[in-house]
Structure 1
């Protein structure tokens, strides 16, 4: 018998919530201790901030970590430290959050959008090489959803063309490529601690690197252009106050203690859900090869074929799935280059040539992902039990049976 869909008054397939962020009295006590101390700010890398930076660098296997106010600023610090100049080009994917590209604009540089791989939704190395010009200075591969990009291919291209690689790892805390933590593979790794992220303090960001010169510059830019050993009112670089607070730092230190176990659980649930969804006609999990030794599943993405679901649009399918109790989302409405910012060239920058025209950009894989194919399950749901993964798959089967 076909079950009545929850949106029509039937029983939900998933009858539990998946809270986020996860916290205990440990966090409350740590923040309260900072409040009582009266030492709230971070005028020059306060004790708790430095402590967290060392902890996070060690977790990632990197030499340095520099915290900042958010993951957008972390990308800007990385770009400036990597030496981009006004008018330079930076290669970015179109299937990502706006700041991967808008941070390039803020540096007076030109984002060049290249398409994504249809099997992974990560930037396609073949498209990268085809887009390189004499003005290209950097590549920002985004480990989208926590799935590692093809870093061997990207680093090979960067080496041959003398380009910097800035990993956008905003989704990839704890994820690995061939046993190496994402963010620690390129020149710089950039992370976000915004409230939805797998490691969070509500807001915040961090950059990691092994390069002494990049570290010194990013640390200076984060701290109003001051340099280590300089006077408080001496400013050497065009930085700003991008420092986080002591309270954010202690929250992050507490949360970091849970990250390895949480990442392991998301990874195991993702592998299990892959096997369950692969059995449903019209549903295809994204590809993860053997080089993906740990996936953080900030977003679990699968490809949806409407023809196997009575021609329900992706938006209709996602609405039905959410009504069944699965924490899901239909994803981006369109690739970044179709955002008004790029269509209207509302940049307030002097160095982007008039010839740059985003109205003619076309990345067909990203277009299709946005329009018809990509459906997301959110990271907090991936912290559930194996039985929850069975329930997610069951909800999809229920919708399919009711639609055909």
Structure 2
């Protein structure tokens, strides 16, 4: 076996040991889970949900946080609480998780796809401006990978046109724009606690807001239309059972306590990886923006240039990198490429990111040591050296 060859064509992989597992837990999660079990309050009426909501709101610089069943559900009830009606239009990026679209469609809303900024991969404010019309009622910027969208420009647009802003911060726990954490910079924000997320309980979500009115409506929407105060079988608005359990909230408290230290480790890992990839012609680490005062690093996304790799297609590069023991992904495809979602003309930056350029590395890789991160560089260099030999 030729160790110098890429593993995809018979060489020895750069690494065989896995990167740090995720999710991680310790005795704190076990203790709180046992306390929830013994409390006899497994759904409503326990202490953990209320405690996490209070602490998470503070963590995200918001007045309110309200837990719910998932990030998808959080999008749906936040849009509903904003008073949007069937036929209203919301503008979303074409480069995002599918729930950003389906949550709006479920409510009878129309969606319009904006292109993304070629450097941040977040929604492009100029593309948003081109889509504005009288039916437009809300914007949903997505903080992709944990990098905040351009909230200055988007708030300016919203104020000019009287639009609501719902931040899709599913990947952005702890991220900051100009020193303020995301989630209540707009009218509301949503978060996901799915098992891959930087704060997780397996499944779950939350809506954050500074609005007392929105918070009260969201509380009712996730609780089958009940008012915050009143008889249990009083239902004042149309709502759903989108609650989570005390067990999930207990795990979230323990995860939130770990978050600051893990954020620091990811920051250092991303900085190290920036330097390593900057040494390789044909790949480009993420560009910086001084207004982004904290990147959540749910993903590390770098740019790949096939022309520097003998025109090796992105899909084949991802396959080769995985074969070297480096976790990675090709990321999103354009939302308009799904046959069951509204169509659109191709958007150039979205097309480039999804089809040829954006390579995703998951956040747990950033929790590894420096030598482990150097393996990413070694793997890419090896693939590049022999890229002309890799079958298409």
**The TM-score by the shorter chain falls in which range?**
over 0.9
Superposed displacement of residue 365, structure 1:
1.0
1:335 and 2:337 correspond? no
Superposed displacement of residue 387, structure 1:
2.3
Specify the SS of the correspondent of 2:138: strand
Superposed displacement of residue 64, structure 1:
0.6
Which residue matches 2:6?
Answer: 5
1:306 and 2:306 correspond? yes
Question: Any conservation in 2 of the 1:2–1:402 contact (CA below 8 Å)?
Answer: no
Which residue matches 1:227?
Answer: 227
Which one of 22, 26, 29 corresponds to residue 27 of structure 1?
29
Q: Which shows bigger deviation, 90-99 or 229-238?
A: 229-238
Superposed displacement of residue 2, structure 1:
8.1
Which residue matches 1:93?
Answer: 93
Which one of 360, 371, 378 corresponds to residue 376 of structure 1?
360
1:121-200, aligned counterparts within 5 Å?
Answer: 121-200=121-200
d(CA) in 1 for partners of 2:343, 2:9: 41
Number of aligned residue pairs: give it.
386
Which residue matches 1:354?
Answer: none
Specify the SS of the correspondent of 1:328: coil
Specify the SS of the correspondent of 1:302: strand
1:164-313, aligned counterparts within 5 Å?
Answer: 164-313=164-313
Superposed displacement of residue 124, structure 1:
0.1
d(CA) in 1 for partners of 2:48, 2:188: 23
Question: If the length of structure 2 is used for normalisation, what is the TM-score?
Answer: 0.95
1:386 and 2:370 correspond? yes
Superposed displacement of residue 288, structure 1:
2.1
Q: Which shows bigger deviation, 26-35 or 390-399?
A: 26-35
d(CA) in 2 for partners of 1:95, 1:103: 15
Specify the SS of the correspondent of 2:293: coil
Superposed displacement of residue 386, structure 1:
2.2
Specify the SS of the correspondent of 1:11: coil
Superposed displacement of residue 286, structure 1:
2.6
Superposed displacement of residue 8, structure 1:
3.5
In structure 2, the gaps of 5 or more residues are none
Superposed displacement of residue 360, structure 1:
4.0
Structure 1 segments (4+ residues) deviating >4 Å: none
Question: Any conservation in 1 of the 2:61–2:182 contact (CA below 8 Å)?
Answer: no
d(CA) in 2 for partners of 1:49, 1:95: 32
Specify the SS of the correspondent of 1:207: strand
Question: Any conservation in 1 of the 2:113–2:344 contact (CA below 8 Å)?
Answer: no
d(CA) in 2 for partners of 1:25, 1:282: 44
Task: List per-residue Cα deviations over 1:221-247 (Å, max 9, x = no partner).
Answer: 011111122211111111111111000
Question: If the length of structure 1 is used for normalisation, what is the TM-score?
Answer: 0.93
d(CA) in 2 for partners of 1:16, 1:121: 31
Superposed displacement of residue 81, structure 1:
1.0
d(CA) in 2 for partners of 1:294, 1:123: 18
d(CA) in 1 for partners of 2:82, 2:345: 26
d(CA) in 2 for partners of 1:39, 1:166: 32
Task: List per-residue Cα deviations over 1:266-301 (Å, max 9, x = no partner).
Answer: 122112211221221110123221111111111111
Specify the SS of the correspondent of 1:267: helix
d(CA) in 1 for partners of 2:268, 2:344: 41
Superposed displacement of residue 39, structure 1:
1.8
d(CA) in 2 for partners of 1:56, 1:158: 26
Question: Any conservation in 2 of the 1:266–1:295 contact (CA below 8 Å)?
Answer: no
Superposed displacement of residue 98, structure 1:
0.4
Question: Any conservation in 2 of the 1:4–1:11 contact (CA below 8 Å)?
Answer: yes
> Please, what is the CA RMSD of the aligned residues?
1.4
Question: Any conservation in 2 of the 1:298–1:378 contact (CA below 8 Å)?
Answer: yes
d(CA) in 1 for partners of 2:241, 2:343: 36
Which residue matches 1:81?
Answer: 81
d(CA) in 2 for partners of 1:186, 1:31: 34
d(CA) in 2 for partners of 1:236, 1:4: 66
Which residue matches 2:65?
Answer: 65
Specify the SS of the correspondent of 1:300: strand
Which residue matches 1:396?
Answer: 380
Superposed displacement of residue 31, structure 1:
1.0
